[in-house]
Amino acid sequence: MRIGELSQRTGVSPRSLRYYEDQGLLTSSRSAAGQRHYSDAELQRVSLIRRLFDAGMSSRVIATVLPCVDIPGDLGVAEETFTAMTRERDRIDADIAHLIETRDALDVLIKANSLHRAKLSTAPEPATPST
């Protein structure tokens, strides 16, 4: 299938598909006219690549993980993939911890603002000077 059909069937833009190919994440053959042609197997590969991107992985990390899919019986590849995936999980855990700290700090500010607004709503109105 050509790039337009792969794009339509996966919901991934042709520009992104070309980027995946530039990063070594996706392969195609070329016609005599230089047009990209993809096999049906690339449909599943694009879906996997999207899931990995959605999980927050960079193209560099994805390139490290994909060989495990391509060469499932290679222990060295499996070890490298395991290391890359645990490193990514640790990065995500650190991001989550930071977000929790940020949310907790915001909760303190929200509580302080709520108390301040409550005081303002019960304060007597300032007297207006008579003319």
Buried b (16+ CB within 10 A) or exposed e, 117-131: eeeeeeeeeeeeeee
Inform me whether the pLDDT recorded for 127 exceeds 80. Answer: no
Inform me whether the pLDDT recorded for 130 exceeds 80. Answer: no
Task: Report the predicted TM-score, pTM, of the whole model to 2 decimal places.
Answer: 0.67
- What are the percentages of helix, strand and coil residues in the chain, rounded to 5? 70, 5, 25
Q: So what's the pLDDT on residue 131?
A: 59
Residue 35: in which H helix or E strand, if any?
none
Closest to 28 in 3D by CA, of 39, 19, 20? 39
Pick the CATH number of 3-120 from 3.20.10.10, 1.20.140.160, 3.20.20.120, 1.10.1660.10: 1.10.1660.10
Inform me whether the pLDDT recorded for 41 exceeds 70. Answer: yes
Q: How far apart are CA 64 and CA 46, in angstroms?
A: 16
Inform me whether the pLDDT recorded for 19 exceeds 80. Answer: yes
Interval 64-122: pLDDT, tens: 888 888 787 888 888 988 998 899 899 989 999 999 999 999 999 999 999 999 999 88
Interval 53-64: pLDDT, tens: 998 889 998 998
Dihedrals phi, psi of 26, to nearest 5 degrees: -140, 145
- What one-character DSSP code corresponds to residue 2? B
Domain residue ranges in the chain? 3-120
Q: So what's the pLDDT on residue 69?
A: 82
- What one-character DSSP code corresponds to residue 25? S
Q: How far apart are CA 59 and CA 56, in angstroms?
A: 10
